Amino acid sequence: MERRRFLQSLAVMGSATALGRAAQASASGAPAEAVGMLYDATLCIGCKTCVVKCRETNHLAPQRTRKDLGLHDMQTDLDFDTRTVIKLYKKTGAGAGPDTAFTKEQCMHCLDPACVSACMLGALQKREFGVVTYRPELCIGCRYCQIACPFGVPKFDFASATPRISKCELCMPRLLEGKEPACTEVCPRKAIIYGKREALLAEAHARLAKQPRRYFPKVYGEHDAGGTQVLYLNPAGLPFDKVGLPALGDESVPHLSNTIQKSLYQGMLTPAALYAALLFVVRRNQKTEAGDDHQS
Amino acid sequence: MITRAEPVGGPIFTRAFLVMLAFGLVGVGLIGVRFLFGLAPITNLSDGYPWGIWKPLNVVIATGIGAGGYAMALLVYIFNRGKYHALVRPALLTSAVAYSIGGASVMVDLGRWWNVWRLPLVWLWNSHSVLLEVSLCVITYVLVLWVEVSPAFWEGLKSRATRAGRFARWFGPRLQKALPLVIALGVLLPTMHQSALGGLFMISTYLHPLWHSGFLPLLFLISCLVMGYSGLVLQDGLTRLVLGRPQEDDLMPRLARLPPFLVLAFLLLRFGDLAFKGRLGLLLVPDRYAFFFWLEIGLALAGSALLLGDGHRRDPGRRFLAALSLILFGALYRFDTYLIGIVPRGDWHYFPAPAEIFVSLGLWALAGCVFIVVVKRFPVLDAAPPGAQTIVHA
Ligand code: SF4
Ligand code: SF4
Ligand code: SF4
- Residue-by-residue DSSP string for B109-151: H-TTGGGGGGTT-GGG--TT-HHHHHHHHHHHHHHHHHHHHTH
Is any Cβ of chain B less than 8 angstroms from the Cβ of A273? Answer: no
* Annotated domain spans of chain A: 3-20+258-295, 21-257
**Could you tell me the distance, in angstroms and rounded to a whole number, from the CA of residue B42 to the centre of ligand 2?**
21
* Annotated domain spans of chain B: 221-250+257-347
Per CATH, domain A21-257 is 3.30.2010.20: no
Is any Cβ of chain B less than 8 angstroms from the Cβ of A138? Answer: yes
Hey, are the CB atoms on A258 and B128 less than 8 Å from each other?
A: yes
The answer on pLDDT for B178 being more than 80 is yes
The answer on pLDDT for A21 being more than 70 is no
Q: How far from B77 is each of A289, A294, B70, B257, B261, CA to CA, in Å?
A: 10, 12, 10, 19, 20
Compute the average pLDDT of residues A126-155. Answer: 96
Of B129, B151, B183, the CB nearest to A120: B129
Predicted local confidence at residue B82, as pLDDT: 78
Q: Which residue has the higher pLDDT, B346 or A228?
A: A228
Hey, are the CB atoms on A162 and B86 less than 8 Å from each other?
A: no
The answer on pLDDT for A293 being more than 70 is no
Other Cβ atoms closer than 10 A to B51? 20
Is any Cβ of chain A less than 8 angstroms from the Cβ of B131? Answer: yes
At B245, is the pLDDT very low, low, confident or very high (cuts 50, 70, 90)?
low
At A69, is the pLDDT very low, low, confident or very high (cuts 50, 70, 90)?
low
Cα–Cα distance, B379 to B7 (Å, whole number): 4
The answer on pLDDT for B391 being more than 60 is no
* Residue of A167, A258, A296 to mutate for B, most B C-beta atoms under 10 A: A296
> Is B304 buried (19+), middle (13-18) or exposed (0-12) by CB count in 10 A?
buried
Q: Which residue has the higher pLDDT, B148 or A84?
A: A84
Q: What is the pLDDT of residues B16-29, one digit of tens each?
A: 999 999 999 999 99
Hey, are the CB atoms on A161 and B88 less than 8 Å from each other?
A: no
At A189, is the pLDDT very low, low, confident or very high (cuts 50, 70, 90)?
very high
> Is B278 buried (19+), middle (13-18) or exposed (0-12) by CB count in 10 A?
exposed
Q: What is the pLDDT of residues B64-93, one digit of tens each?
A: 888 988 988 888 888 888 778 888 888 899
Give the percent of chain A with pLDDT over 70.
83
Predicted local confidence at residue A28, as pLDDT: 41
With the CA atoms of B35, B37, B38 and B39 taken in that order, what torsion angle do they form, in degrees rounded to the nearest 10? -100
The answer on pLDDT for A71 being more than 80 is no
The answer on pLDDT for A131 being more than 90 is yes
Compute the average pLDDT of residues A61-82. Answer: 74
Predicted local confidence at residue A72, as pLDDT: 62
Task: Assess contact for A275 and B151: CB atoms under 8 A.
Answer: no
Compute the average pLDDT of residues A63-79. Answer: 70
Q: In the predicted model, what is the mean pLDDT of chain B? A: 89
Chain A residues whose beta carbon lies within 8 Å of the beta carbon of residue B147: none
> Is B283 buried (19+), middle (13-18) or exposed (0-12) by CB count in 10 A?
middle
Other Cβ atoms closer than 10 A to A268? 15
Hey, are the CB atoms on B126 and A121 less than 8 Å from each other?
A: yes
Compute the average pLDDT of residues A139-158. Answer: 97
- DSSP state for residue A87 in the 8-state scheme: E
Cα–Cα distance, B275 to B290 (Å, whole number): 15
The ipTM estimated for the assembled molecules is: 0.90
Per DSSP, helices labelled H in chain A are: 2-14, 16-25, 49-57, 114-118, 144-148, 172-176, 182-186, 197-210, 255-265, 269-288
Q: In the predicted model, what is the mean pLDDT of chain A? A: 86
At A135, is the pLDDT very low, low, confident or very high (cuts 50, 70, 90)?
very high
Ligand 2 close to Cβ of residue A165 (< 6 A) = yes
The answer on pLDDT for A124 being more than 60 is yes
Predicted local confidence at residue B239, as pLDDT: 77
3-state secondary structure of B16: helix
Predicted local confidence at residue A66, as pLDDT: 59
At B370, is the pLDDT very low, low, confident or very high (cuts 50, 70, 90)?
very high
Q: A90 pairs with which residues across the strands? A: A100
Q: Going by C-beta distance under 8 Å and a sequence separation of 6 or more, which residues neighbour residue A65? A: A75, A79, A81
Predicted local confidence at residue B386, as pLDDT: 43
Q: What is the pLDDT of residues B90-105, one digit of tens each?
A: 889 999 999 999 999 9
Predicted local confidence at residue B241, as pLDDT: 76
Cα–Cα distance, B318 to A83 (Å, whole number): 57
The pTM score is 0.89
Cα–Cα distance, B31 to B43 (Å, whole number): 11
